[in-house]
Amino acid sequence: MSAVPVYGAIEHWVEVAPDREALVFGERSWSWAELDRRVRRVAGALRAAGVEPGDRFAVLDKKHPVCLELTLAASLIGAANAVVNFRLSAEELAHVLGDSTARLAVVGEEFAPALRELQSELPRLGEVIVLGGESDQYEEWIAAAEPVADPHPAEPGDCFLQLYTSGTTGWPKGAMLTQRSMSAHTGEAVSAYDMDERTINVVAMPLYHVGGTSWALASMSAGARTIIVRDIVPAALLDLVERSAATHAFFVPAVIQMLLSDPERARTALRSLEVLGYGGSPMPAPLMERLLSTLDTPLHSVYGMTEMSGVFCVLGPAEHRDDTREHLRASAGRPLPGTELRVVDPATGDDVAPGEVGEFWVRSEQMMAGYWHMPEATRDTITPDGWLRTGDAGRQDGDGYLYIEDRVKDMVISGGENIYPAEVERVVIEHPAVADAAVIGVPHETWGETVKAVVVPTDGAEIDEAEIIAFARERLAHYKCPTSVTVVAELPRNPTGKILKRQLRTRYVS
């Protein structure tokens, strides 16, 4: 697939349908022509502030269309928008902003005090522009700028968007997403989800996540009407989908669970959806059954990652409702046409036999350029011949469907046997007293490691450790089963819903 400059799609719709609504946020909306004028003025403001090709600037805020117009403006001047997770701790925030070497930051009013406290630790960060509220500086900042009339000539390898990985195994790393990688992703996503100019797309995921920014850029490239949702309030989200007659939406399973708390309301409000994508964390089997029985909406399971600019594997609507192959509902689907995939023994680099568990390696034009200022981590992730090690362990069946077992780094080795915690978690969570579960390896004198389950009880339930272990032993080989069970009120998760196994290991291994 040939790389097309990201802003080229915007320019197309400005020419074809200048007055059609492009972007919606609350009560405000912008036509394609209005959006183009704003982006070019933002690009001019960035240039006037000294942001040059190759430089980074940062955005720290909840979901706001300004983040998208800054990303598009970055693509016009050869710079990169480093979108920062607003949920980070002060220490993490200082690390990400320092790592990004951002010269300028646009910060939402509610996060401005926290950023000011860190500025002394960020010598490179010069200008801070407050967005929103009574202290808003952003509109005045762009109003004073001259629109860019001579964009930087975009090259396929230019990084214009820098998104930071979730950091479940250490400090977040800045994945450099390029004109080529995002254009390739956009083309695949538009095709996979049947997006076009009639699409009305709801963006509910954070914009520091590919499930937010990449999902939005895909629908914008298709000429769709793109609606940005600032906060997830289930009742308001259902009202929005119904009122706007939205055709496309993407949610994490936790949000879907909230939306289904009132099945009748969900059924009515979501009836306009032609595509309901989900991903970011595993879909528990009980929730899948509720979803299938409550909605007739076509479902798309999404497997993707920041380093691949977004989705690269999809399970489509037909597979979700194929009663003759119910096992497919546990699958991550099949790779998109532009993606090559291997299942590899991570120790040897050799392909494993079909059906055996290994690490998924992928190769595609969607691949990031690497990690910002981390050449060693980049070499550890991208092989010399262009394969990206996903870090995900799983298998591929004879029909090409992928089944994710776990993260390679989370694997437990007990008595020489490899145990993937996700397999154990799927069984433990089937127990009626268990609402949520995570499995880790803990030291054992004889076996090296043994399996520990950390569980959250359902409302009003009492967890019996021996009962959970016996339940697992009826369904799994004994060496895979928990030898201890700890009950907690909740599991530590990152903002996208992934369980932070590192925190659990720190807490319980010691």
Question: Could you report the per-residue pLDDT of 342-370, keeping only the tens digit for each?
Answer: 999 987 889 999 999 999 999 999 999 99
Over pLDDT 90: what percentage of the chain? 80
Domain assignments of the chain as residue spans, ordered by start = 6-178, 336-397, 411-509
Higher model confidence: residue 317 or residue 475? 317
The average pLDDT across 253-276 equals: 95
Q: What architecture (CATH level 2) is domain 6-178?
A: 3-Layer(aba) Sandwich (3.40)
List residues bridging with 248 in a β-sheet. Answer: 201, 275
The average pLDDT across 460-473 equals: 94
3-class DSSP assignment, residue 417: strand
Banded pLDDT at 2 (limits 50, 70, 90): very low
Tokens of 346: 């991570």
Banded pLDDT at 294 (limits 50, 70, 90): very high
Kindly report the CATH number that applies to the domain delimited by 336-397.
Answer: 2.30.38.10
Higher model confidence: residue 252 or residue 214? 214
Q: What is the pLDDT of residue 101?
A: 96
Least confident of 393-397, 429-433, 440-444: 440-444
Instruction: Return the DSSP state at 372.
Output: T
Tokens of 329: 């509902």
Q: What is the pLDDT of residue 499?
A: 86
> Is residue 447 scored above 90 in pLDDT?
no
> Is residue 4 scored above 90 in pLDDT?
no
Q: What is the pLDDT of residue 142?
A: 97
Fold of the 411-509 domain = GMP Synthetase; Chain A, domain 3 (3.30.300)
Q: How far apart are CA 125 and CA 102, in angstroms?
A: 6
Q: What is the pLDDT of residue 276?
A: 98
Least confident of 160-174, 301-315, 365-379: 160-174
Name the average pLDDT for the chain: 93
Return the ∠ at Cα 276 (arms to 275 and 278), rounded to 5°: 140
pTM value surpassing 0.75:
yes
From the number of C-beta atoms within 10 Å of its C-beta (0-12, 13-18, 19+), residue 24 rates as: buried
Q: How far apart are CA 166 and CA 285, in angstroms?
A: 25
The average pLDDT across 326-346 equals: 95
Summarised one tens digit per residue, pLDDT across range 128-151 is 999 999 999 999 999 999 999 999
Summarised one tens digit per residue, pLDDT across range 18-70 is 999 999 999 999 999 999 999 999 999 999 999 999 999 999 999 999 999 99
Q: What is the pLDDT of residue 501?
A: 87
Instruction: Return the DSSP state at 505.
Output: H
Q: How far apart are CA 177 and CA 350, in angstroms?
A: 28
> Is residue 495 scored above 70 in pLDDT?
no
